[in-house]
């Protein structure tokens, strides 16, 4: 009887040990930040050099939307600008002539004033030369006023050229981040429009495992803590080192896809774990988090 009691106690201890050691502390799925790259221009796709599974570097051009019409519009604006410049040059030449006349008149004015001081010129001559100077100065102001609209027109054309330059730049399909192409939505020679998705990319070199834990487990974890992440493998579970990067500040009901029906009524906290990907981790793959 005593021997039977010892066996029963050992069995209970083994079951208790299995319950404590064979159950993960959290369950969830891997995710990554997916970025959908869309067209920023309208037109025919000249080329799109990427395929699903390709690893792309950031800030490289992977495609181009036809810019022929933009190029022609730009050349037309440049020609218009040259025409406006010729008008401005004509006005500026008039101003230059008037300025030379003003310069000569001012010299003459000084000479007459000196003569008047020596009683060699009359007051009428002084008044006449003053009037002549005033007339030329007013003429210069008038011509300068004529040039102001021309200058504004040139500035307006410059702005339009810059807008076309920006549209040409946006016709280039530039990959923004380093990552793996998850999906390709368009092909060369297709017509695209502004905002139409071209491809989806994500950096999967480091994956994020989102798991859910109970309130009683909160005291066991903290941001920056190292944990073990396990995924299903052919013979036994494969382990990865992970680091807790985020813990939810408020509770939520357990998602259906993570826990059993009985456990869904419990409030849990979401936790994110960063895991370096050796190539075997995929978006949506289920995994377990082990604190110890």
Helices (H), the chain: 2-21, 68-117, 123-171
Q: Is the pTM of this model over 0.85?
A: no
The reported pLDDT for the residue numbered 1 is: 38
CA dist., res. 214 & res. 221, Å (int): 11
Distances (CA, A) of 155 to 7, 33, 141, 151, 160: 95, 43, 21, 6, 9
Residues 206-246 pLDDT 10s: 999 999 998 889 999 999 999 999 999 888 899 999 999 99
**CA 129, 134, 136: angle at the middle one, nearest 5?**
95
Which tens digit of pLDDT belongs to each residue from 33-68? Answer: 999 999 999 999 999 999 999 999 999 999 999 999
Q: In angstroms, how far is CA 196 from the centroid of its own chain?
A: 17
Q: How far apart are the first and last CA of the chain?
A: 38
Helices 123-171 and 68-117 pack at an angle, to 10 degrees, of: 160
Distance CA 63, CA 174 (A): 7
Computed over its alpha carbons, how large is the radius of gyration of the chain?
Answer: 40
- What three-state secondary structure class fits 128? helix
What pLDDT, in 10s, does the model give residues 23-35? Answer: 889 999 999 999 9
pLDDT of 6 reads 35
Return phi, psi of residue 253, to 5°: -75, 140
């Amino acid at each position: 009887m005593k021997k039977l009691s010892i066996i029963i106690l050992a069995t209970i201890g083994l079951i208790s040990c299995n319950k404590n050691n064979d159950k993960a502390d959290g369950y969830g799925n891997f995710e990554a930040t997916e970025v959908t790259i869309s067209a920023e221009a309208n037109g025919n796709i000249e080329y799109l050099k990427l395929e699903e599974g390709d690893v792309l570097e950031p800030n490289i051009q992977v495609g181009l939307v036809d810019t022929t019409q933009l190029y022609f519009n730009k050349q037309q604006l440049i020609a218009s600008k040259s025409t406006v410049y010729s008008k401005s040059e004509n006005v500026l030449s008039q101003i230059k002539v008037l300025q030379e006349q003003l310069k000569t008149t001012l010299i003459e004015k000084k000479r007459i004033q000196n003569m008047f001081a020596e009683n060699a010129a009359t007051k009428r001559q002084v008044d006449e030369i003053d009037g002549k100077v005033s007339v030329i100065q007013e003429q210069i102001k008038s011509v300068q006023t004529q040039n102001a609209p021309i200058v504004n027109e040139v500035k307006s054309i410059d702005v339009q050229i810059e807008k076309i330059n920006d549209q040409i730049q946006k016709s280039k399909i530039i990959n923004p981040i380093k990552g793996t192409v998850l999906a390709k939505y368009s092909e060369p020679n297709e017509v695209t429009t502004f905002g139409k998705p071209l491809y989806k990319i994500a950096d999967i070199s480091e994956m994020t495992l989102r798991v859910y834990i109970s309130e009683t487990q909160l005291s066991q974890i903290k941001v920056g803590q190292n944990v073990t992440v396990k995924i299903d493998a052919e013979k036994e579970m494969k382990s990865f080192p992970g680091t807790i990067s985020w813990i939810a500040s408020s509770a939520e009901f357990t998602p259906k896809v993570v826990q059993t029906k009985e456990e869904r009524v419990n409030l849990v906290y979401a936790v994110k774990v960063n895991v370096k990907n050796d190539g075997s981790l995929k978006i949506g793959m289920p995994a377990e988090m082990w604190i110890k």
